[in-house]
Amino acid sequence: RYRPPTFHVQAWYDEVRDFTYPHPHECNPYCPYRCSGPVCTHYTQVVWATSSRIGCAINLCHNMNIWGQIWPKAVYLVCNYSPK
């Protein structure tokens, strides 16, 4: 059983703990080249001033490469944010 998209959107919002205002680029200066530390890029999309709608899709991917490991069944969630 999969978690609903709202669970993941909440997890993205919870990245606020890694957000360093007024210097958000310090959240993880290595992304997108090496995302091994904290990230807050999902958070910034969720709270962007003009974001008012979100559309999400979920897909089951077979043999997906996740950070150098092959997952036989990976659930892939993609969301698109829309302005007002």
The pLDDT of 63-78, averaged and rounded, is 89
C-alpha 70/C-alpha 58 separation (Å) is 19
Predicted confidence (pLDDT) per residue in 26-53, tens digit: 665 445 444 555 667 777 777 877 888 8
Looking at residue 33, its pLDDT comes to 46
pLDDT(6) > 80: yes
Which residue range is the domain that position 36 belongs to?
5-83
- Average pLDDT of the segment spanning 51-60: 85
30: left (phi over 0), alpha (psi -120 to 50) or beta: alpha
Q: How many domains does the chain have?
A: 1
Q: 59 versus 67: which is more confidently predicted?
A: 59
Give the domain CATH number at 74.
Answer: 3.40.33.10
- pLDDT range class, residue 23, cuts 50, 70, 90: low
